């Protein structure tokens, strides 16, 4: 007997409606009808305005700033879908907020990334689709399946079209070496590392460079930037070491006003990022935004049809190389 595949339904909150619409356009599916609003006291109200009983529901909502607001919207959307008898609820979180609070590095501090994972499961999420987590071990914080995609193939396609010669990939800190190494291997170029010291939550200080960057074009690679302190400090020391054109490839650009100011005054010629979160409007002149709608849409399609998401990533990576 053939098993019936539940109908696919995609909903979104207010965090990044444009990305959700692009995903739906790629899949040829309408965006689900849900009302998300706030009461006068700031509490969130959600109503799903169509029947989703027995449907395969995907809720697209990055937990980007305002992080707490967007996280609560996501949790309430999930609860509404669960109480409306959805067959399965998958949370599509292109950017996973609170990911940096993943361990106790000081006495008496929380592990907030684990708390958020617990909240999502308690609300009724049965599967998570996300991209470029700050630390891959966060997948283990969930007791449900997590499909982890990478922005690398999307950025690689653009970088290949730029035909950057005499290139070296740079990690702006020691913690990002694994990610930078993946880009260096994909591009077939060498790797360098900037060693930094963090002075505060918004300030870092680059101290020295491991590797040869003199007379080379440089691509600084990182998963996330908010204040742009790390990458602009790295760019400054790389310029001092004789680097030529300096680019940055960032998966998630959660840019603040301070970040935009720093980027405009930095040696970075272009910051290449994705639309995993809405990008600051003031950064238009120095930021190139690439869409991950196709990547996420293909991930949703594969999950819905019970196909391998890993094989999707491998296929795309080979294609781009």
Burial readout 186-222 (b: 16 or more C-beta within 10 A, e: otherwise): bbebebbbbbbeeeeeeebebeebeeebeebbbbbbb
Burial readout 17-47 (b: 16 or more C-beta within 10 A, e: otherwise): eebbbbbbebbebebbebebeeeeeeebebe
Q: What is the DSSP string of 251-319?
A: EEE---HHHHHHHHTSSEEEEEEETTSPPPGGGTTTEEEE--HHHHHHHHHHHHTT--HHHHHHHHHHH
The catalytic position among 18, 104, 114, 196 is 196
Angle between helices 257-264 and 229-240 (to 10 degrees): 10
The dihedral through the CA atoms of 177, 117, 143, 27 has a sign that is negative
3-class DSSP state of 37 = strand
Pairing of strands 217-225, 167-171: parallel
| 196 a catalytic residue | yes
Q: Which H or E run contains 220? A: strand 217-225
Which candidate, 227, 224, 27, places its Cα nearest to that of 130? 224
Q: What are phi and psi of 133, to 5 degrees?
A: -60, 150
The catalytic site residues sit at 196
């Amino acid at each position: 007997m053939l098993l019936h595949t539940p109908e696919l339904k995609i909903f979104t909150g207010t965090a990044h409606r444009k990305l959700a619409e692009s995903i739906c356009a790629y899949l040829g599916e309408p965006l689900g009808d849900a009302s998300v609003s706030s009461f006068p006291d700031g509490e969130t109200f959600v109503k799903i305005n169509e029947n989703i009983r027995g449907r395969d529901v995907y809720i697209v909502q990055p937990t980007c700033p305002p992080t707490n607001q967007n996280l609560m919207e996501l949790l309430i959307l999930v609860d509404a879908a669960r109480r409306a008898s959805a067959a399965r609820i998958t949370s599509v979180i292109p950017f996973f907020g609170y990911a940096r609070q993943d361990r106790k590095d000081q006495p008496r501090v929380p592990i907030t990334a684990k708390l958020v994972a617990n909240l999502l499961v308690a609300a009724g999420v049965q599967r998570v689709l996300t991209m470029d987590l700050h630390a891959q071990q966060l997948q283990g914080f969930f007791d449900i399946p997590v499909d982890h995609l990478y922005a690398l193939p999307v950025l690689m396609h653009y970088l290949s079209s730029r035909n950057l010669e005499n290139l070296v990939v740079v990690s702006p800190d020691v913690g990002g070496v694994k990610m930078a190494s993946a880009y260096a291997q994909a591009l077939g170029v060498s790797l360098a590392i900037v060693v930094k010291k963090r002075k505060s939550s918004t300030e870092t200080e680059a101290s020295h460079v491991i590797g040869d960057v003199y007379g080379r074009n440089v691509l600084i690679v990182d998963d996330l930037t908010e204040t742009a302190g790390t990458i602009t400090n790295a760019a400054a020391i790389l310029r001092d070491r004789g680097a030529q054109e300096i680019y940055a490839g960032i998966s998630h650009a959660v840019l603040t006003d301070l970040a935009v100011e720093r980027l405009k005054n930095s040696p970075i010629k272009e910051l290449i990022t994705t639309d995993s979160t809405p990008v600051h409007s003031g950064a238009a002149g120095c930021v190139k935004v690439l869409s991950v709608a196709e990547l996420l849409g293909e991930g949703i399609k594969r999950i819905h049809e019970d196909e391998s998401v890993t094989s999707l990533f491998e296929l795309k990576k080979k294609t781009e190389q």
